[in-house]
Amino acid sequence: MIHARQALLAEGWARDVRLTLADGRIAGIETGAAPQAGDVRVDTLLPALANLHSHAFQRAMAGMAEERQEGRDSFWTWRALMYRFVGRLTPGQVEAIAAQVQLEMLEAGYAAVGEFHYLHHQPDGRPYDDIAEMSRRIFAAAQQSGIGLTHLPVLYSHGGAGRAPLGEGQRRFGNDIERFGVLLEAARAALGALPGDARLGVAPHSLRAVAPEDLAQLVAMQPAGPIHIHAAEQPQEVRDVEAWLGARPVAWLLDNAAVDGRWCLIHATHMTAAESRALAASGAVAGLCPITEANLGDGPFAGPAYVAAGGRFGLGSDSNVLISLTEELRLLEYSQRLRDLGRAVMVAGRGSVGAFLYAAAARGGAQALGRAAGIIAPGRLADLVAVDSTAPALCALPREKLLDGLVFAARDTVVTDVWSAGRHLVREGRHVRRDDILAAFRRAMRELTAD
C-alpha cells in the first residue's frame, strides 16, 4: 500500500490517496483516505515516465567527445569516436554499464526504459557462442536494477543509404535479416527470465542501415509489440535517404511502412510541416531526446506544428551523456523558446506547459514501450514516482503549478521514491542496490580505461 498526501490521478489531482498494488498493477485507489500502519507514505505521487530511447553502453563515453578536433566537429566525428570506443567493450562491462544507467534512470524518476540494442557481436563481428549474449547482459542488468525493460534488438545491415557495406566500426552491430531472426528468437527466449512487465519489440536501426525489403520482413517477424526506428536526426541523413528512396525519411516511412501506434520514430527532428501533421495523424510516437539532440548538434524538434496537430511524443536519453528527467523536459521546451523567440511553446492551446509536457510524455512513453502505464488508474502498471513538494524549488507552488516547478525550477533530487511495476526501487532518493551497482560500474570503467 502507498499513501500519498496528494496524487495526480487520471482524472486530476486528489488528496490523501491510498493505492493498493497487486501483481505489479494498481488494484485500487481510495481518495480522502487516512494512512494506515505499514503504508509507504509519500508526499506527491505522479505516474512515472518511461525513458523510451537508450543506448546504455554510450554512458561510458560521456564527456570523452567534447574536445574540438581540427576542422569542424559534428555528429559524424562523434560517431567515429563512438565506434572506436565500442570496439573495446566486453559483455561484462556492458552489463555493468547498463545496470548503472538503469539505476540513474530510476533515481531520476523513470520507471522503465526502451533499450535500442545494437551492440550484438564480438569485436571482429562474429556472433558470440550465444548469439543473444549481449541481450542477456542487458537483461541481467535489468534484473539487478529492477527497471521495467522493453528490449529492442536492432537490425543493422548496411553502413549507409543505398545498401552501403558496413564499415569496420559497425561490425559488432551487423546482421542480415535471416541471422537477425535467429537473434530475435534467442532474445525472446531469454527475456522469459525477467518479470512479466518486460516487453520485446524490434528496431530497424534507420533507413540508412536497413533496406526497404528487409524492413517489411522485419515488421512481419514481429506482428505485435513496439517498432522503433531512428529517423530524420541529421540533415545529411535526410538528403541521403531522399537521394536513395526519393522521399525524406519520415515521409517515406509514412507512405511505405504502415506506421501506426506501434511505431516510435526516434528524433524526427527534421520534418516538413506536412510530415509533422502526417506523423501526428498516424498515432505513432515521436521519441524526443533533447539532451542528446543538443549534444550532437541535431537541432530542435519542430514542436509547435506537431503539438497543434495532436502529435504524441515521449522522452529518451539516447546517448546517456546525462541522465536527468527534469533537464530533458526543460531542454525540450527551452530549445523551442530559443528558436521561436517565444515562451510557453510546447502546450496544446492554453495552460500549464509543465502539466502538458509531463502528462503527454508519460502517455507517449508508455505507448512507445508497450507498457500499460502513463496514468495512475486501476489496472495500470504501478509505474510511479513520488516527489517532495516541500523541496525549496516547489514549496511555494500550488499543486496546479507543481509540474511547472518540476520542469522549470527543480532538479531530479526532488524525487524520493520510484516504483516500476510495483517494485519499490528508489527510497529516500537512493536506489536500493546503489552501492553494488556503482562498485561494479567503477570496476568496469577502470578496466576499460586501463591503457
197, 214, 298, 318: which is the annotated catalytic residue?
A: 318
Q: Are 432 and 144 in contact (CB under 8 A)?
A: no
Closest Cα to residue 441, out of 31, 10, 97, 158? 97
* Residues 6 or more apart in contact with residue 418 via CB below 8 angstroms: 48, 106, 107, 109, 110, 111, 384, 385, 386, 424, 425, 426
Interface size with Zn ion, residues (CB under 5 A): 1
Compare residues 51 and 93 and give the one whose CB is closer to Zn ion: 51
Stretch that binds Zn ion, among 16-24, 61-69, 152-160, 315-323 (CB under 5 A): 315-323
The SS3 of residue 74 is coil
Stretch that binds Zn ion, among 142-150, 157-165, 280-288, 310-318 (CB under 5 A): 310-318
For residue 247, what is its C-alpha cell?
A: 522521399
Compare residues 4 and 166 and give the one whose CB is closer to Zn ion: 166
The CA-atom distances, in angstroms, between 98 and each of 17, 354, 402, 436, 438 are 34, 29, 32, 13, 11
Compare residues 318 and 327 and give the one whose CB is closer to Zn ion: 318
Q: With binding defined as CB under 5 A, does residue 318 bind Zn ion?
A: yes
Compare residues 138 and 387 and give the one whose CB is closer to Zn ion: 138
User: Which residues are bridge partners to 267 per DSSP?
Assistant: 231
* Residues 198, 149: Cα–Cα separation, whole Å: 5
Helix count and strand count (H, E) for the chain? 14, 17
Stretch that binds Zn ion, among 34-42, 199-207, 270-278, 316-324 (CB under 5 A): 316-324
Residue nearest to Zn ion (CB): 318
Compare residues 141 and 264 and give the one whose CB is closer to Zn ion: 264
Q: Are 175 and 210 in contact (CB under 8 A)?
A: no
Compare residues 146 and 249 and give the one whose CB is closer to Zn ion: 249
Minimum CB–partner distance for residue 1 and Zn ion (Å)? 39
For residues 401 to 440, the per-residue mask of contacts with Zn ion, x marking binding by CB under 5 A and - elsewhere, is ----------------------------------------
* Residues 210, 204: Cα–Cα separation, whole Å: 6
* Residues 84, 364: Cα–Cα separation, whole Å: 34
Q: With binding defined as CB under 5 A, does residue 43 bind Zn ion?
A: no
Handedness of CA 245, 249, 250, 256 (dihedral sign): positive
Burial of 449 (0-12, 13-18, 19+ CB in 10 A): exposed
Minimum CB–partner distance for residue 53 and Zn ion (Å)? 6
For residues 122 to 161, the per-residue mask of contacts with Zn ion, x marking binding by CB under 5 A and - elsewhere, is ----------------------------------------
Task: Looking at 175-272, list the stretches that DSSP marks H as alpha helix, in order from N- to C-terminal side.
Answer: 177-191, 212-221, 235-245, 249-256
Q: Assess whether 318 carries a catalytic annotation.
A: yes
267, 383, 404, 417: which is the annotated catalytic residue?
A: 267
Stretch that binds Zn ion, among 117-125, 318-326, 356-364, 411-419 (CB under 5 A): 318-326
Minimum CB–partner distance for residue 79 and Zn ion (Å)? 11
Minimum CB–partner distance for residue 115 and Zn ion (Å)? 11
Compare residues 318 and 328 and give the one whose CB is closer to Zn ion: 318
Minimum CB–partner distance for residue 374 and Zn ion (Å)? 22
Q: Assess whether 117 carries a catalytic annotation.
A: no
Minimum CB–partner distance for residue 344 and Zn ion (Å)? 29
Minimum CB–partner distance for residue 61 and Zn ion (Å)? 14
* Residues 294, 268: Cα–Cα separation, whole Å: 14
Minimum CB–partner distance for residue 14 and Zn ion (Å)? 37
Q: Are 25 and 382 in contact (CB under 8 A)?
A: yes
Residue recorded with cell 545498401 = 163
For residues 265 to 304, the per-residue mask of contacts with Zn ion, x marking binding by CB under 5 A and - elsewhere, is ----------------------------------------
Where on the chain is the footprint of Zn ion (CB under 5 A)? 318
Which residue numbers are catalytic? 267, 318
